[in-house]
Chain A
Amino acid sequence: MTTVATDVAPPDARKAGRYVYGAAVFLLCAWVLVPLYFLLINTLSSPESVNTFPKAFIPEFDLGSLLFFASFAGMLDALKNSILVALLTMVLSIVVGAPAGYALSRFEFRGKELFRMLILLTRAFPLPLLALPLAVMFIRTGLDDTVIGLAMVHTTLAVPFAVLITFSLFSGIPLELEEAAWTLGCTRLTAFTKVVLPLILPGITASAIFAFVISWNEVFAAAVLTIENRTLTAFLLTNLETSPLHLKFAGGFILVVPALIFIFAVRKYLFAMWGIANR
Chain B
Amino acid sequence: MAEIQIKNVAKQFGEYQALHDINLTIADQEFMVLLGASGCGKSTLLRIICGLETATTGEVWIGGRRVDHLAPKDRGISMVFQNYAVFPHLTVFENIGFGLRMQKMSNDEVKRRVERTATLMHIEQLLQRYSGELSGGQRQRVAVARALAMEPDVILMDEPLSNLDALLRMEMRAELKGVLAESKTTAIYVTHDQVEAMSMADRISVMHEGKIVQAASPIEVYRNPAAEFVASFIGNPPMNFLNATPAGDGKWSVAGNVVDGPRANGPLQFAIRPEDMQLSDAGLTATAKVVEPLGAHLLVTCELDGKMFRAVLDSDLTVNPGDALTLAPQADRVRWFDPGTTLAVA
Contacts and interface: CB of A to CB of B under 8 A. Distances in A.
A185 B89 contact: no
Interface string A184-203: 11110010001100110000
B98 A184 contact: yes
A180 B81 contact: yes
A199 B89 CA distance: 7
Nearest to A180: B85
| A-B residue pairs, 5 tightest by C-beta | A185-B102, A184-B99, A180-B85, A176-B85, A183-B79
A179 B87 CA distance: 11
B197 to A, nearest CB: 23
18 contacts: A174-B83, A176-B83, A177-B85, A179-B79, A179-B85, A180-B79, A180-B85, A182-B51, A182-B71, A183-B50, A183-B51, A183-B52, A184-B99, A185-B73, A186-B73, A195-B87, A198-B89, A199-B88
A184 B150 contact: yes
Interface of A: 174, 176-177, 179-187, 190, 194-195, 198-199
A186 B82 CA distance: 20
A190 B83 CA distance: 22
A184 B78 contact: yes
A184 B75 CA distance: 10
A31 to B, nearest CB: 39
Interface of B: 50-52, 71-73, 77-79, 81-83, 85, 87-89, 98-99, 102-103, 146, 150
A190 B99 CA distance: 12
Given A177-B85, A179-B81, 10 more contacts: A174-B83, A174-B85, A176-B82, A179-B72, A182-B71, A183-B50, A184-B78, A184-B146, A195-B87, A195-B89
B2 to A, nearest CB: 15
Contacts of B102: 184-186, 190
A177 B72 contact: no
Contacts of B72: 179, 182-183
A237 to B, nearest CB: 45
Contacts of A180: 79, 81, 85, 87, 146
A185 B81 contact: no
A183 B98 CA distance: 11
A183 B77 contact: yes
A6 to B, nearest CB: 32
A185 B52 contact: no
B69 to A, nearest CB: 15
Nearest to A188: B71
A173 to B, nearest CB: 9
B73 A183 contact: yes
Q: Which of A181, A183, A186, A194: most chain B Cβ within 10 A?
A: A183
Contacts of A183: 50-52, 72-73, 77-79
Contacts of B51: 182-183
Contacts of A182: 51-52, 71-73
Contacts of B88: 199
Nearest to B75: A183
Contacts of A177: 85, 87
A184 B74 CA distance: 9
A176 B43 CA distance: 13
Nearest to A179: B52
A234 to B, nearest CB: 42
Contacts of B85: 174, 176-177, 179-180
Contacts of A195: 87, 89
B25 to A, nearest CB: 22
A186 B73 CA distance: 7
Contacts of A186: 73, 102
B99 A185 contact: yes
A178 to B, nearest CB: 9
Contacts of B50: 183
A183 B73 CA distance: 5
A186 B52 CA distance: 13
Contacts of A187: 71, 73
B83 to A, nearest CB: 6
Nearest to B88: A199
A199 B50 CA distance: 25
Contacts of B79: 179-180, 183
Contacts of A176: 81-83, 85
Nearest to B149: A184
A90 B78 CA distance: 40
Contacts of B103: 185
A195 B77 CA distance: 20
A187 B73 CA distance: 8
Contacts of A190: 102
B52 to A, nearest CB: 5
Nearest to A177: B85
Contacts of B71: 182, 187
B150 to A, nearest CB: 7
Contacts of B78: 183-184
Nearest to B82: A176
